[in-house]
Amino acid sequence: MPEQNKYLRGLIVWTGFKQTGIPFDRKERYAGKSKADLITVMRVAKNGFFSFSYLPLRFVTYAGFCMTLFSFLLIVYYLILFAIEGRVNPGITSILLLMLFLFGILFFILGIISEYIARIYEEAKGRPTYIVRSKINI
């Protein structure tokens, strides 16, 4: 596959063939302890997470939607509170609610754009649409 950042474990599962685990007793390493430090292991985990998951991108979309909805409900609450009781903290409430609402809209739009970028990235990987398991009489 023509990918630059290959995550082999994910690609093996991605192929979709039947898999069977084979238990075995692992001997001690010949070269002693592993030289991979936490940074290296985290880099491999990050590569696997971002190569096969668009959850972080969708999280931005959902967070933006939730922020917008929450701020809208707060705006309605403070407007009702102002209409009924006539009390409100002048200035600070409106500024904070407006900022929360606009940042929620911004995150939501950023999440939508990231969905498009994820689809472009998926096409740019160049993974085949299907994999032939076996050839018969060819």
For the entire predicted model, the pTM comes to 0.61
The answer to whether residues 7 and 60 belong to one domain is: no
Q: Locate tokens 């407007």: which residue?
A: 79
Half-sphere exposure of 138 (CA within 13 A, CB side): 4
The answer to whether residues 4 and 61 belong to one domain is: no
Task: Say how far apart CA 98 and CA 90 lie, in whole Å.
Answer: 13
How many domains does the structure of the chain reveal? Answer: 2
Q: What is the mean pLDDT of residues 14-28?
A: 78
Residue 44 lies in a domain: yes
Give the model's pLDDT for residue 7: 61
Give the model's pLDDT for residue 66: 93
The answer to whether residues 45 and 72 belong to one domain is: no
Q: At what angle do helices 92-124 and 55-85 cross, to 10 degrees?
A: 160
Contact by Cβ (8 Å): 74, 96: no
**Which residues span the domain enclosing 78?**
54-129
User: Mind listing the pLDDT tens digit for each residue in 28-85?
Assistant: 877 777 777 888 888 877 877 777 777 888 888 999 999 999 999 988 888 888 888 8
The answer to whether residues 12 and 77 belong to one domain is: no
